[in-house]
Amino acid sequence: MSRDTHSFDPQRPAEDPLGPEREPSNEARRREGQEAEDGPEIPTPEVRQPPSLMPEREDSPRAHLLRDRTFLLRESQLLTMTELGKFRVVAAADLARFAYASDNARMERDVRRLKDQGLVSERTLATSGRKTLRVMTLTKTGKRLLQNTRRVPEDQRLYHDILKPREAKHDAELYRLFHTEAARIESAGGKPLRVLLDYELKRNLNRDRAKLGKQKSDPQEIERLAERHGLVVVNGKIPLPDVRLEYQTADLELKRVDLELATRHYRPRGVAEKAKAGFSLYSHREDASRLRRILDDQELTARILAL
């Protein structure tokens, strides 16, 4: 099941970093099983070159200590743990494609060894109809071990386990969305540096809003709060992207791009808010027609990119 859009609402309590889980609208349920319309032409995604992995026969396991335990890990297995940690949940098929250059057999061997050591877990999610999606996450131990290796920059937040199972399918697709946008950046000579998920953006906003004290609901202060975090206020709320990607351009300039995966389940108001916030909108090709109609009805101009 997909989730609806997320925004930071200054009028809501800050206990839950993302608010309650969203149910799709009645229209979304009705459209779920229908044949998708042919969408408008949208740009074909770039193809990103997968990492150059060391040959498996040369990738010898090395010992890594965590408290009183020793874990034997290959370099490719540490790469897998890093990918899972940055995105929380990743589909097995996407992990094989982007991290292993479509070498499914090697990916399966690595994942099996990681699972045997209690560092990675996997689940099979029911999606629509009889379809399922196999996804993977770090365990709490896996996250701690990865942090202990110091191979991930301190400012890159890591995650473990699935937080909201009903949103896991949508969240798993963000890994593919990142690689699609990263390919665009690299084709222009840039370099991706850091990934921030909406969980982290929401946490940072809540933290800074709490410092405002009695002024935490002041509209001008909320405008300043949004600006400090590179966001804007739309209809009294601060729309949050699914993913923020910080990167370096070919000219060594530091920039960021906010990405949103918009699906058929998104309500018109939510799609409009994301467009007004200036996010780069990605969509499955079969969903693009409905999203384009929403934007046209509200006289909004936004480019929809193919996932």
* Confidence band, pLDDT 50/70/90 cuts, at residue 45: low
201 inside domain: yes
| pLDDT tens, position by position, 207-219 | 999 999 999 889 9
pLDDT at 289: 83
Considering the domain architecture, whether residues 95 and 145 belong to the same structural domain is answered as: yes
Number of domains in the chain: 2
Contacts of 263 (CB under 8 A, 6+ apart): 2, 170, 283, 284, 287
In tens, the pLDDT along 94-143 reads 999 999 999 999 999 999 999 999 999 999 998 877 889 999 999 999 99
Judged by DSSP in three states, 304 sits in strand
C-alpha span between 101 and 98 (Å, rounded): 6
Are 117 and 196 within one domain?
no
Q: Are residues 130 and 84 in the same domain?
A: yes
- Position 251 in a domain: yes
Task: Please state which of the ranges 75-79, 206-210, 299-303 shows the lowest mean pLDDT.
Answer: 299-303
Q: Which pair of tokens denotes residue 280?
A: 């780069």
Q: Indicate whether 211 and 305 sit together in one domain.
A: yes
pLDDT band at 2 (very low <50, low <70, confident <90, very high): very low
Nearest Cα to Cα of residue 171 among 127, 119, 232: 127
Rounded (5°) CA angle 225-227-228:
65
Q: What is the pLDDT of residue 165?
A: 86
In this structure, what token pair is assigned to residue 63? 């010992």
Q: Which positions ≥6 away from 299 have C-beta within 8 Å?
A: none
The residue ranking higher by pLDDT, 166 or 61, is 61
Residues 49 and 94 in one domain: yes
Question: What's the mean pLDDT when you consider all of the chain?
Answer: 86
User: Does residue 169 form part of some domain?
Assistant: no
pLDDT at 239 (0 to 100): 95
Residues 195 and 306 in one domain: yes
| Same domain, yes or no: 77 and 150 | yes
Is 249 domain-assigned? Answer: yes
Separation of alpha carbons 215 and 53, rounded Å: 52
Residue 17 has pLDDT above 90, yes or no: no
Domain extent for 248: 188-307
User: Per the domain annotation, does 232 fall within a domain?
Assistant: yes
pLDDT score of 24 more than 90: no
170 within domain boundaries: no
Distance of alpha carbon 112 from alpha carbon 74, whole angstroms: 13
| Angle at alpha carbon of residue 9, lines to 211 and 178, rounded to 5° | 95
204 touches 8 (CB < 8 A): no
Position 27 pLDDT exceeds 50 = no
Q: What is the domain-level CATH number for residue 83?
A: 1.10.10.10
Sign of CA dihedral 105, 107, 113, 118: negative
159 and 255 co-located in one domain:
no
**Residues 192 and 159 occupy one common structural domain:** no
CA 238, chain centre distance (Å):
18
Q: Does residue 80 sit in the same domain as residue 145? A: yes
CB 21, CB 167: distance < 8 Å: yes
- Same domain membership, residue 158 and residue 73: yes
Q: Please indicate, yes or no, if residue 4 is contained in any of the structural domains.
A: no
Where is the domain boundary, 130, 164, 198? Answer: 164
Q: Establish if 286 belongs to a structural domain.
A: yes
Mark which of 129, 164, 199 sits at the end of a domain. Answer: 164
Largest CA distance in the chain: 62
